[in-house]
Amino acid sequence: MPSTNVCKKNSSPPGALSRGGRRCLFGWLLVAALVLPAGGCAYRLGPTNGLRAHARSIQILPFENKTIEPRLVEAVGTALRQQLQQDGSFAIDSHGDGDVVLTGTIVSFERHSLTFVSRDVLTPRDYRLTITAQVTARERGTGRVLLEKKITGHSDIRVGPDLVSSERQALPLVATDLARNATALLADGSW
């Protein structure tokens, strides 16, 4: 009885596949193509909280600024809207009838020295800017608190000739980091 093994060696020149070798390779590729996707990859597109995209709407009210730093409210509000739109879990509602109302208070804006100029241990070269906000999300209809947490965002900056200009340029980055953290908490909520 002839052998039915198509993956056996043959006398083809080195580097060339025989007809049986090509069939064997095709068979293994077919098996890999069928088995690998079913191997447990649990990736999912869209919201991760079980709801469909834009199933709920969110209204973002202007945050209160308890710091002495101006322009934080606008930067944080803009960054929150952009991140929530990019995430796609919520529809942004600006007319006052959203399912969820997001409010917050910016409680601190801090600058910490990270590195110093060589040969001068008193002059910082790099700073870390941090914004901390107390964020609250409530259901409009019931008033139930969905999220109430202090959230921070930060970014590192290199000081140029003018510290104020460097901070002004980094402010959107810090606000975006805070908004990204808040959006992750809102989108992954269990409500």
Whether the Cβ atoms of residue 63 and residue 73 lie closer than 8 Å to each other: yes
188 or 31, greater pLDDT: 188
Residue 60 lies in a domain: yes
Residue 7 lies in a domain: no
Confidence bin at 21 (pLDDT 50/70/90): low
Residue 128 lies in a domain: yes
Residue 171 lies in a domain: yes
Kindly report, residue by residue over 85-132, the tens digit of the pLDDT.
Answer: 998 888 888 777 888 999 999 999 999 988 888 888 788 889 999 999
Residue 46 region, left (φ>0) first, then alpha (ψ -120 to 50), else beta?
left
Residue 84 lies in a domain: yes
Residue ranges in 16-162 assigned as alpha helix (H): 19-35, 72-87
Three-state DSSP state, 80: helix
Residue 183 lies in a domain: yes
Asked whether residue 179 carries a pLDDT value surpassing 80, the answer given is yes
Give the whole-angstrom CA distance, residue 133 versus residue 152.
6
Total domain count, the chain? 1
Q: What pairs with residue 114 in β-bridges?
A: none
Give the whole-angstrom CA distance, residue 167 versus residue 162.
9
Q: Take residue 66 and report the two structure tokens written for it.
A: 């308890």
Q: What confidence score (pLDDT) does residue 137 get?
A: 95
For the domain that residue 80 is a member of, what is the CATH number?
A: 3.30.160.150
Containing domain of residue 179, as a range?
Answer: 56-187
What pTM does this model have? Answer: 0.70
Give the whole-angstrom CA distance, residue 112 versus residue 126.
9
Residue 136 lies in a domain: yes
Q: What confidence score (pLDDT) does residue 93 get?
A: 86
| pLDDT mean over 1-5 | 53
27 or 170, greater pLDDT: 170
Kindly report, residue by residue over 64-82, the tens digit of the pLDDT.
Answer: 999 999 899 999 999 999 9
Q: What confidence score (pLDDT) does residue 62 get?
A: 94
Residue 44 lies in a domain: no
